[in-house]
């Protein structure tokens, strides 16, 4: 009976993978799979109602708050002109040197996205950065890939992004000094790979340098690049410093950054102005992360259902899955492309079931699992996958074909994953 149940659980897991590959709605996929797993595992109805669908979601409120305040903060640094002014200043300093300008934009955008969060922030900053690259003669697929590399590079240190993993591996991951050290190393390696990518394509194409401001700017740029004073450029890094160094909690850290951003850009001069900016940025931030929150709730419910089915999976797979986490880390690196299109190594996709299966074996600590599954969403999916939300926007905006975009960056993302999987295991995978 247990073997039959295990086979049915794996069959539904395979169906979830196929559904994700076909671009199905993740919230619906997780909810349906959760119900099926509860039925297959013969979970009592009372447990399904109280533990799987209610208690799981009810206990996730703190993480949702971090995501909401992180999205709000991201909108503040974009809408007040801080992000746009930083980018404009960098381009002015680089002059008309295409290679130098592109490299500096990659570095600066990575720094901005250590705090900016949400597809709206990516869109707003992308509508500044991409036209600059296009106007210098950088091929569209290369410019788009370079920008997405920089967006992904900021995620290692991004509090709102890292908090999404709390649903799987517990809270307070970001406040460990060991994680901060790993995140700094991962960011540095990520940026070096991105710069190598830019230099490689610059040499390959022998782009003829043209003046950076020759191309007409989209109308959206004028709003996003309203002038902000130089001293406000510290604002994007305030939450990181407060959490990593002063050990504040994320929500008050974001609030300090929000108020400081509005203060240093002159938006606290009147009560009316404060209310207008605060309401608009909060509303837009929540709107942009609404679908993400829905998907995360679906994952939370699925995790609760998987916990009920864990004994069956342990019985079926306990002796088949390698118990050495370093071996798994190396295997994850080799199989990194399986994270694309929400595949079985993408934790915010069908990989949520892979997490459940590995957790069910009882062989791995939370930090080991975190190290294994952290790398793929950043190094592979956020960098290269056409199904990533901001990737889909970038393809539409730049008129680049998905397969061209994928072919442009996938080998570089794969190399990054191969490097960072063992690094992640070595630096944080053995923590307890």
**pLDDT tens, position by position, 81-91:** 999 999 999 88
415's CB contacts (< 8 A; 6+ apart) are 193
**Burial class of residue 3, CB neighbours in 10 A (0-12, 13-18, 19+):** exposed
Among 263, 308, 224, which Cα is nearest to 45's? 308
Model pLDDT for residues 24-35, shown as the tens digit of each residue? 888 898 899 999
pLDDT band at 38 (very low <50, low <70, confident <90, very high): very high
Q: Which pLDDT score, from 0 to 100, does residue 208 have?
A: 47
283's CB contacts (< 8 A; 6+ apart) are none
Q: Which pLDDT score, from 0 to 100, does residue 220 have?
A: 37
Q: Which pLDDT score, from 0 to 100, does residue 225 have?
A: 52
Q: Which pLDDT score, from 0 to 100, does residue 319 have?
A: 64
Q: What is the rounded distance in angstroms from the CA atom of residue 299 to the CA atom of residue 16? A: 12
pLDDT band at 75 (very low <50, low <70, confident <90, very high): very high
**Three-class HEC string of the chain:** CHHHHHHHHHHHHHHHHHHHHCCCCHHHHHHHHHHHHHHHCCCCHHHHHHHHHHHHHHCCHHHHHHHHHHHHHHHHHHHCCHHHHHHHHHHHHHCCCHHHHHHHHHHHHHHHCCCCCCHHHHHHHHHHHHHHHHHCCCCHHHHHHHHHHHHHHHHHCCHHHHHHHHHHHCCCCCCCHHHHHHHHHHHHHHHHHHHHHHHHHHHHHCCCCCCCCCCCCCHHHHHHCCCCCHHHHHHHHHHHHHHHCCCCCHHHHHHHHHHHHHHHCCCCCCHHHHHHHHHHHHHHHHHHHHHHHHHHHHHHHHHHHHHHHHHHHHHHHCCCCCCCHHHHHHHHHHCHHHHHHHCCCCCCCCHHHHHHHHHHHCCCCHHHHHHHHHHHHHHHHHHHCCCCHHHHHHHHHHCCCHHHHHHHHHHHHHHHHHHHHHHHHHHHHCCC
Q: Which pLDDT score, from 0 to 100, does residue 321 have?
A: 75
Q: What is the rounded distance in angstroms from the CA atom of residue 276 to the CA atom of residue 69? A: 17
Mean pLDDT across the chain, nearest whole number? 87
pTM check: above 0.85: yes
Integer-rounded Cα radius of gyration of the chain: 22
How far CA 412 is from CA of 100, 190, 197, 316, in Å, comes to: 20, 10, 7, 37
Q: What is the rounded distance in angstroms from the CA atom of residue 352 to the CA atom of residue 371? A: 15
Q: Is residue 1 scored above 80 in pLDDT?
A: no
Q: Which two tokens stand for residue 17?
A: 């993978």
Q: Which two tokens stand for residue 377?
A: 């969403």
Q: Which pLDDT score, from 0 to 100, does residue 213 have?
A: 40
Q: Which pLDDT score, from 0 to 100, does residue 68 have?
A: 92
How many CA atoms does the CB half-sphere of 301 hold within 13 Å?
A: 24
Q: Is residue 207 scored above 60 in pLDDT?
A: no
Most confident of 51-60, 162-171, 215-224, 306-315: 51-60
pLDDT band at 209 (very low <50, low <70, confident <90, very high): very low
Q: Which pLDDT score, from 0 to 100, does residue 381 have?
A: 92
Q: What is the rounded distance in angstroms from the CA atom of residue 8 to the CA atom of residue 13? A: 9
88's CB contacts (< 8 A; 6+ apart) are 128, 225
pLDDT band at 171 (very low <50, low <70, confident <90, very high): low
How many CA atoms does the CB half-sphere of 413 hold within 13 Å?
A: 30
pLDDT band at 100 (very low <50, low <70, confident <90, very high): very high
Q: Is residue 391 scored above 90 in pLDDT?
A: no
**Burial class of residue 21, CB neighbours in 10 A (0-12, 13-18, 19+):** middle
Q: Is residue 328 scored above 70 in pLDDT?
A: yes
Q: Is the dihedral of CA 313, 316, 321, 324 positive or negative?
A: positive
Q: What is the rounded distance in angstroms from the CA atom of residue 137 to the CA atom of residue 149? A: 19
Q: What percent of the chain has pLDDT over 90?
A: 49
Q: Determine the straight-line distance between the first and last CA of the chain, rounded to whole angstroms.
A: 36
Model pLDDT for residues 116-152, shown as the tens digit of each residue? 888 888 988 999 999 999 988 899 999 999 999 999 9
Q: Is residue 180 scored above 70 in pLDDT?
A: yes
Q: Is residue 212 scored above 50 in pLDDT?
A: no
Among 193, 84, 96, 205, which Cα is nearest to 145's? 193
């Amino acid at each position: 009976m247990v073997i039959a149940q295990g086979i049915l659980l794996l069959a539904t897991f395979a169906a979830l993978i196929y559904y994700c590959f076909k671009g199905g709605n993740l919230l619906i996929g997780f909810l349906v799979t959760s119900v099926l797993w509860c039925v297959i595992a013969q979970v009592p109805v009372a447990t399904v109602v109280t533990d799987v669908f209610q208690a799981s979601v009810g206990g996730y409120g703190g993480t949702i708050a971090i995501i909401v305040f992180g999205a709000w903060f991201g909108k503040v640094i974009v809408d007040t002109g801080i992000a746009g002014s930083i980018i404009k200043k960098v381009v002015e300093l680089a002059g008309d040197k295409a290679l130098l300008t592109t490299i500096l934009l990659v570095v600066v955008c990575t720094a901005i996205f250590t705090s900016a969060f949400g597809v709206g922030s990516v869109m707003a900053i992308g509508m500044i950065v991409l036209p600059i690259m296009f106007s210098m003669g950088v091929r569209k697929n290369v410019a788009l890939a370079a920008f997405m590399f920089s967006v992904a590079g900021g995620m290692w240190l991004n509090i709102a992004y890292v908090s999404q993993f709390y649903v799987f591996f517990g809270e307070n991951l970001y406040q460990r000094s060991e994680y901060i050290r790993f995140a700094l190393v991962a960011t540095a390696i990520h940026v070096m790979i991105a710069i190598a990518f830019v230099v490689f394509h610059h040499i390959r194409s022998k782009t003829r340098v043209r003046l950076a401001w020759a191309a007409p700017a989209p109308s959206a740029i004028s709003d996003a690049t309203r002038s902000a004073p130089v001293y406000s450029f510290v604002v994007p890094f305030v939450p990181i410093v407060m959490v990593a160094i002063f050990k504040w909690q994320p929500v008050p850290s974001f609030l300090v950054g929000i108020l400081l951003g509005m203060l240093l850009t002159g938006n606290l001069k009147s009560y009316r102005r404060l209310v207008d900016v605060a309401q608009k940025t909060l509303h837009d931030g929540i709107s942009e992360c609404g679908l993400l929150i829905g998907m995360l709730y679906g994952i939370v419910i699925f995790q609760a259902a998987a916990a009920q089915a864990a004994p069956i999976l342990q019985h079926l797979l306990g002796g088949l899955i390698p118990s050495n986490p370093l071996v798994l880390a190396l295997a994850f690196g080799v199989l990194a492309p399986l994270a694309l299109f929400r595949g079985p190594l993408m934790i915010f996709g069908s990989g949520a079931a892979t997490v459940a299966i590995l957790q069910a074996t009882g062989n791995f600590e939370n930090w080991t699992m975190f190290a294994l599954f952290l790398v793929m969403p950043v190094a592979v999916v956020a960098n290269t996958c056409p199904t990533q939300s901001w990737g889909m926007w970038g393809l539409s905006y730049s008129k680049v074909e998905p397969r061209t975009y994928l072919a442009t960056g996938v080998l570089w993302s794969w190399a990054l994953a191969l490097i960072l999987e063992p690094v992640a295991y070595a630096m944080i995978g053995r923590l307890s």
